Amino acid sequence: MDMCVHAWQLCGIPCKHAMRETLHSKLDPHNFVSEWYSVNRYKLTYENNIKLIPDLDQWPEMGLLDRPEINPPGMRRGVGRPARNKRRDQDEQVKGKRSKTVACSNCQCYGHNSQTCQGGLTRK
């Protein structure tokens, strides 16, 4: 509750707990909201700042040479080590493991290679 009081003091809008207590006490909740959020203050804020947009006829004439060149933003290298694996599109399939089973060149058996061969068919 203590945190709600600080937020109320900072922003001027009561929290849900304060609103519930205000309604329970049969008081008008508008009296507890800051004056800065009133319609009158809003109208005073934007009274002179909104300018009308001129009609299309009043726009200045611009030729092809008068237009500014718009370039994309420059590419910057990200911080940290680059990604190890390729980032694939959503419709692109994930690269799987080998489709073939490894075959040993010593004993011609499947499931291991010549370095991990325990002898297999060539064992004496």
Name the band, by pLDDT with cuts 50, 70 and 90, for residue 45: confident
Range of the domain at 15: 2-51
Structural domain includes residue 68: no
Structural domain includes residue 97: no
Which residue from 25, 23, 42 is spatially nearest to 34, judged by alpha carbons?
A: 42
The pTM score is 0.32
Residue found by looking up tokens 């290298």 in the block: 77
- Alpha-carbon distance of 86 to 91, in angstroms, equals 14
Structural domain includes residue 102: no
- With a pLDDT cut of 90, the percent of the chain lying above it is 0
71-109 residue pLDDT tens: 988 888 888 888 887 778 888 877 766 666 788 888 888
| pLDDT at residue number 54 | 77
- Domains contained in the chain, number: 1
